[in-house]
Structure formats: C-alpha cells, structure tokens
Amino acid sequence: MSDHEYTPKSKAGKWFNDRLPLLTLANHLTDYPTPKNLNYWWTFGGILTFCLITQIVTGLTLAMHYIAHADMAFESVEHIMRDVNYGWLIRYIHANGASMFFLAVYIHIFRSLFYGSYKAPREIIWIIGIIIYLLMMAAAFMGYVLPWGQMSFWGATVITNLFSAIPLVGEGIVTWLWGGYSVDNPTLTRFFTLHYLIPFLILGLVVLHIWALHVPGNNNPVGIDVKKPSKDTVPFHPYIVIKDTFALLMFMIVFAFFVFYTPNILGHADNYIEADPLVTPAHIVPEWYLLPFYAILRSVPDKLLGVIAMLSAILILAALPWLDTSKIRSAVFRPLYKQFYWILVADVLILGYVGAMPAEGLYLLVARVATAYYFLHFLVILPVLGLKEKTLPIPLSITEPILGGTANLATARNKESSIK
C-alpha cells in the first residue's frame, strides 16, 4: 500500500473525496507498488477479471432470450442460435468463455503452487481464491444444465445424485435439490436462478481477493518480501497495466480462435439432443475442466468414499498453506519441490485424460495410481519436503542478483543506499 496521503488537485475533487474517498482508492490502485520482476504468469489475475466480466455481460444478454422451462429451454437456445441477431456469437462467447475462464484459473492456481503465493502472509487470499474456484464450478455446472440437452440432463442427474451418498439424509437432500423425484422443470428453474446469482457472488469475492492481496502486496518470482515502495517495485500504472493488457490481447486471440473456428470442440455433441429422461447417453463425461475430479470419483469403488475423495481433492487445497512446511516460497530456490511440482502437474493432466476415458481396465488402474499420488503429494510429500529439503540461498532483494549481489547483508545494504 502506498503510504503517502493523497489529496486531489482540484477543489471539486477534494470536496468529493472528503465525502467519499473514491479518488483515494483510484490513486491507491494506480500507484500500487508492484514487484518489478513479475513475469507473464502474473497476468492471469487481470485475464480472469476480464473472463468474469465477459461471462456476466454475455450471460445477461442471453438471459433476455432464454426461457427457463423444461418444455422450452432447448428450443429457446436454438432460437438464440438461429434467430436472435448475433445470438450465435453471444452464446459461443459465453460457452467457450467458461472454458477460457477455467483455463486461466488453472494457470493462475498452478502459478501460486509454483511460486508459493499461498504461504504466509497470503493464506486468506488463497482461501478466498479456493472459494471462488468452488463457486465457478457450481456456476459452470448449473450453466451447462440450462440448454436442457442430453448431457445437461444426465450431467445434472449424476452430479445431484452425488448427494445421495450422504448416509440417512442423502435421498431427502437430493429430492429437495430436484424439487421432485427426478431432474425436471423445478430443477431447471432453480438452477437458472442460482446460475444468475453466483457470478455476482464471485464478483464480490474477487473484490475481497484483491483487497486481501493489496494488504501484503504481490508475491513475485523470487518469492521474497519486498520493501514497498522501493527500487524493487514499480507503480501498477502504467507498468503492470500495459503488461496485463498485452497478455490479455494474446489470451483473447486464443479465445477468439475457439469462438470463431471451433466453437463446439470443447462441448459434447450429445447436448444438441433434447433431454430425454428415458435414455442415458452411452458415455457421460463432464466438461474438460472437471475431468480430473471426475477421474478421482470413479477411481474409488465405493460410492460414499468416492464422493468424499472427490470433494477432499478440492478442499485439501484450502489447507495447503499449512501442509507446505517450507519457509521458502518460490520453487526457484527449492530444487526438489520443483521436480515434485512438475510431477503433480503431470499427475493432474493424467487424471484429466483418464477422466475422459471409460472407467475400466488400464484406464481405471492409471486413475487409481494417479489419485493416490495426488493425495500423497499434499499429505506426505509437501509436509516432509519442507523439513528435509536443502534449499538454495535466496537473494536479499529483487535487484541484488542482477547487480552482482553478495550474500553479506551489510554490503548489500550499503550498495543499496549508494545506488539511491
């Protein structure tokens, strides 16, 4: 946070700011000191904000034409695609936007894992992030139900049935969620309501996420605490704004490629068949971004334990700041952790792959090994590694290694002051 007091230049500005300090906030956001070594992995926060706004804007416009009723939903989506002016474009942006949102959030999460951004003093930022991620999954799942295609219907059936695994009250909860004895019109209307609500909850949490971020400031690739403001930082505007904008443009090229060239590749053809409660599609798979967790669910032969394993796989992330016992944040200075990090990345990708395949034979075996490794990483490897690993020496400042720094604190400080 910038420490200096801000006073607007104009008299009117000062009058307004004394009554509602919005200009102080704007000044804080512009001047916000940011570590000067942030790389492009740090641009995904801005990209994610863009994704959220895109989903809200396209969602609002779709809601003007969509009809949340079991008899009309499917047709109204086709109506959007064929009749509504640019309806196809808005819907394709919204549908692919969900995938882009998850693509960005996974990069964002794995960035944190690599550079230890979840560690003290940033635990609250991290936990808010996990809650946002959970809400994103809920919103994406309910949004997928709205077109009322075969995958919508059976995806909704399978996912809501997860709750029936809860002993005693499970069946009651599922009936309550459905508003009937199966997924039907009452289910659709409430999913629409919640799908509309959740993005605004996410928006609120994003504000808290950024607020919590601005208390300690950004982590950085070196992972050390940075004095703010100092010559290790640059003001957010224009430096980070420009960098974020450039990254966003690159991201939008990928986004546009999907929207304009392969708008349906990430979806499932069965969802262009209207929901039929009598026929289950031969091969039900969730959207790609949920596949790793789906693989974990299927790799456990017991229904209740499978559901518990799947939920734990997500919730274990919230405990990460305490499971990782290492004092060093960045993997750059943790040679062993760096290797385990890439094994985890591979493990999650493998889970995603087997999640899309039938749960039998070799696929099932691989899913089981990968599931076991996933939990092993968080519950055993991380706690032990933090205590045993021999880490590399970390620099005293971001500038130090570049200027041929020394491990001696006193000379480094002298050098720092002489540069000033």
Partner 1 sequence: MSEKKTNRRDFLFTATYAVGAVGVGATVWPMIDQMNPDASVKALASTEVDVSSLTPGRTITVLWRGKPVFIRRRTEDEIADARSVKLDDLKDPEKDEDRAKNPEWLVMLGVCTHLGCVPLNDKGDYNGWFCPCHGSHYDTSGRIRKGPAPTNMEVPKYEFVNANTIKIG
Query: Where does this chain bind partner 1 (CB under 8 A)?
Result: 154, 157-158, 160-162, 164, 175-184, 186, 190, 277-284, 298, 301-304, 306, 358-360
In the chain, the amino acid numbered 416 is E
Q: How far is the CB of 163 from partner 1 (least distance, A)?
A: 10
* Alpha helices (H) along 276-356: 291-299, 303-315, 320-323, 335-356
Residue pair 367/354 in contact by the 8 Å Cβ criterion:
yes
Q: How far is the CB of 89 from partner 1 (least distance, A)?
A: 34
Cβ nearer to partner 1, comparing 179 with 216:
179
Residue 234 belongs to what H/E stretch? strand 233-235
Q: How far is the CB of 374 from partner 1 (least distance, A)?
A: 19
Residue pair 78/192 in contact by the 8 Å Cβ criterion:
no
- Kindly report the length of the chain: 420
Cβ nearer to partner 1, comparing 161 with 391:
161
Q: Which residues of 344-361 are buried (b: 16+ CB within 10 A; e: fewer)?
A: beebbebbbbbbebeeee
Cβ nearer to partner 1, comparing 164 with 325:
164
Q: How far is the CB of 298 from partner 1 (least distance, A)?
A: 6
Cβ nearer to partner 1, comparing 1 with 197:
197
Contacts of 70 (CB under 8 A, 6+ apart): 148, 184, 185, 188, 275
CA angle 377, 384, 389 (to 5 degrees): 105
Cβ nearer to partner 1, comparing 75 with 171:
171
Cβ nearer to partner 1, comparing 226 with 309:
309
Residue pair 402/37 in contact by the 8 Å Cβ criterion:
no
Q: How far is the CB of 378 from partner 1 (least distance, A)?
A: 25
Q: Identify the three-state secondary structure at position 189.
A: helix
* Alpha helices (H) along 215-290: 241-261
Q: Which residues pair with 274 in a beta bridge?
A: 149
Q: How far is the CB of 157 from partner 1 (least distance, A)?
A: 4
Cβ nearer to partner 1, comparing 205 with 284:
284
Q: How far is the CB of 121 from partner 1 (least distance, A)?
A: 35
Query: Could you give the CA distance from residue 140 to residue 120 in angstroms, rounded to a whole number?
Result: 31
Q: How far is the CB of 60 from partner 1 (least distance, A)?
A: 25
Cβ nearer to partner 1, comparing 18 with 302:
302
Cβ nearer to partner 1, comparing 37 with 189:
189
Nearest to 1 by CA among 221, 222, 223, 233: 233
Q: Which residues pair with 34 in a beta bridge?
A: 234
Cβ nearer to partner 1, comparing 107 with 364:
364
As to burial, measured by CB atoms within 10 angstroms (0-12 exposed, 13-18 middle, 19+ buried), residue 420 is exposed
Q: How far is the CB of 184 from partner 1 (least distance, A)?
A: 5
Q: How many CB atoms lie within 10 A of CB 46?
A: 18
Summary count for the chain: helices (H), strands (E): 17, 2
Q: How far is the CB of 258 from partner 1 (least distance, A)?
A: 28
Cβ nearer to partner 1, comparing 242 with 305:
305
| Rg over CA atoms, the chain | 24
Q: Is the peptide bond before 216 cis (omega within 30 degrees of 0)?
A: no
Q: How far is the CB of 191 from partner 1 (least distance, A)?
A: 12
Residue pair 197/143 in contact by the 8 Å Cβ criterion:
no
